[in-house]
Amino acid sequence: MSTHYLALDIGSTTVVAIVIDLDTNAVVGTASAANSSEVTSATDKRIGRSEWDLDAMTELAIENATALVARTNARPAAIGVTGQQQGLQLLDAALNAVGPYFSWQDQRAQEPLPGQQHTYLDAMAQQGGSITTEGEMPAFANTGCPLVAGHAAPHLFWLQANNQLPSGVSGTTAPEFVVSRLVGKRPVVDPTDALGWGVYDVTKQAWADELIADLGLDQSLFPDLVESCTMAGSLTTAMAQKLGVPAGLPVAVASGDHQCSFAGTVADYANTVAVNVGTGGQAALHIEAPLPRGSLELRPYIQRGYLLAGVGAVGGRTFRTLRDFFADAIYALADVQPDSEALYERLVSLAADVPAGAEGVRADPLFSGSRSRPRAKAAFRELTAATLTAGHLTRALLEGMAVELADSYREAIRLGGGARSKLVGAGNGIKLNPVLRAALEAEFAMPLHMGSHGEEAAVGAALCAAVADGAFGSIAEASAAFASG
């Protein structure tokens, strides 16, 4: 019997495939490809829209996985899938994509209604009876998160308000769409991804039916809920031929990339705080029962429990904003287009030459606000003529990011999540940045342990497939056996 498990991670920037081996507790191989399936027009990009061809994205993910299977000669026992949470793809009755995929980055729900001052999101919040605190984002009761434009339900609300929601369609998100294509069945969703619709009741572990009705949305738009780490179906013959694996291979239900990253990184759930920095960033604790979430999110975990998490305030895109500023300045002043990756490395190197504390320079890194402070702006403070340098600005920004992530942990403790004795990091934003690693250790007052496997979300998805296949009794057991953090 094979001990190999294949997983696909459908990310915003890249699509990733991974094969793990349970016998050796090792990653057999990984492959990645740039996600080139965006179809947003230049005009729409300028107003914050983000549209993608999800069939092309799926084909890209399959081609990437096919190359990995061929290179490793893997014979997986089952397949797992994870990927970007939130977003929306409409499907017709024959499961064909209707229109483009609106990604989690799409902000059309923040556009003002025609001839009015308030936005579609404001109207949705009012219509659904949201709980609103001055200066914070609205939130529906028991949904575990604030109401944000990238959720699937706001996309549906916008489409309906603009008479662009065809009859007879249903909705899905990217990971579930890929699973649907692999098994040839209608998409289903587990609790970890259902949260990203914005209308899932985390306490009842069910769709918030009354809220959905109040918003004027039809229940048929929403996929059926299923348990995590169960089988969605069997790999179709056509997909098996593309991948170079046997037809009928079990395919697990998709789970959210944040939860999968936790599963693929953290071996000891009870004693660990996990920090992940990719395009976004999260600091999370695993808890067994719901708690008041404050300004954090209460995200259903795989199979049981929750992640109490600070989400989205800072991440890789925060550092990218500063890098882009310097790239634009270099181009404007010297008519030279610097290499983006080389510029990242140079900025980190310059920051490493600046003492911890950035000689008094402080950064508020909220270029895009935060879930609790959506109107917040970024700022650099306490600058002098001697400290107005690329190294000081970079060091201060990275230390400010660490403060934001550690503040999430401190709030989780205040809410009753419990202090933890171990700090585990994941994501290239941490792995490739020694200055950020040092800043995190200083702010969390703990040594930082990095997971040894890499591509943690894909590892977690592979472990979900292994649990669904019966190799482990639970995802917690799988993490304890395979994860290194």
78: Cα separation from own chain's centroid: 23
Instruction: Provide the pLDDT for residue 155.
Output: 98
Cα separation of 463 and 478, whole Å?
6
Cα separation of 389 and 404, whole Å?
23
Instruction: Provide the pLDDT for residue 371.
Output: 65
Cα separation of 294 and 408, whole Å?
10
Residues whose CB is less than 8 angstroms from the CB of residue 218 and which lie 6 or more positions away in sequence, other chains included? none
Instruction: Provide the pLDDT for residue 321.
Output: 95
Cα separation of 445 and 413, whole Å?
14
Domain boundaries, the chain: 4-266
Assess if CATH 3.40.50.1820 describes domain 4-266: no
Instruction: Provide the pLDDT for residue 319.
Output: 96
What's the whole-number mean pLDDT along residues 32-60? 97
Instruction: Provide the pLDDT for residue 428.
Output: 87
Average per-residue pLDDT for the chain? 95
What's the whole-number mean pLDDT along residues 327-349? 95
Instruction: Provide the pLDDT for residue 372.
Output: 65
Residues paired with residue 381 on neighbouring β-strands, in sequence order: 362
Residue 348 has pLDDT above 90, yes or no: yes
Residue 134 has pLDDT above 80, yes or no: no
Tens of pLDDT, residues 181-208: 999 999 999 999 999 999 999 999 999 9
Tens of pLDDT, residues 444-481: 999 999 987 889 999 999 999 999 999 999 999 999 99
Instruction: Provide the pLDDT for residue 271.
Output: 97
Q: How, if at all, do strands 4-10 and 422-426 pair?
A: unpaired
Task: Name which residue leads in pLDDT, 323 or 1.
Answer: 323
Using pLDDT thresholds of 50, 70 and 90, give the confidence band for residue 210.
Answer: very high
- What count of other Cβ atoms lies within 10 Å of the Cβ of residue 426? 29
Residue 335 has pLDDT above 90, yes or no: yes
Q: Which of 419, 464, 18, 433 is nearest to 256 (CA)?
A: 464
Cα separation of 182 and 320, whole Å?
34
What are the phi and psi torsion angles at 210 (to 5°)?
A: -65, -40
Using pLDDT thresholds of 50, 70 and 90, give the confidence band for residue 136.
Answer: confident
Percent of the chain with pLDDT over 90: 91
Tens of pLDDT, residues 236-278: 999 999 999 999 999 999 999 999 999 999 999 999 999 999 8
What are the phi and psi torsion angles at 22 (to 5°)?
A: -70, -25
Residues paired with residue 141 on neighbouring β-strands, in sequence order: none
Instruction: Provide the pLDDT for residue 30.
Output: 97
From 9-18, 217-226, 265-274, 361-370, the region with the lowest mean pLDDT: 361-370
Cα separation of 290 and 128, whole Å?
22
Tens of pLDDT, residues 137-155: 889 999 999 999 999 999 9
Buried b (16+ CB within 10 A) or exposed e, 3-24: ebbbbbbbbbebbbbbbbbbee
Query: Is the distance from CB of 175 to CB of 334 less than 8 angstroms?
Result: no
R_g over Cα of the chain: 22
Percent of the chain with pLDDT over 70: 99
Instruction: Provide the pLDDT for residue 451.
Output: 82
Cα separation of 178 and 190, whole Å?
14
Cα separation of 191 and 203, whole Å?
11
Cα separation of 64 and 409, whole Å?
36
Residue 369 has pLDDT above 90, yes or no: no
What's the whole-number mean pLDDT along residues 12-26? 95
Instruction: Provide the pLDDT for residue 474.
Output: 98
Residue 375 has pLDDT above 80, yes or no: no
Residue 130 has pLDDT above 80, yes or no: yes
Structure tokens at 456: 């943690």
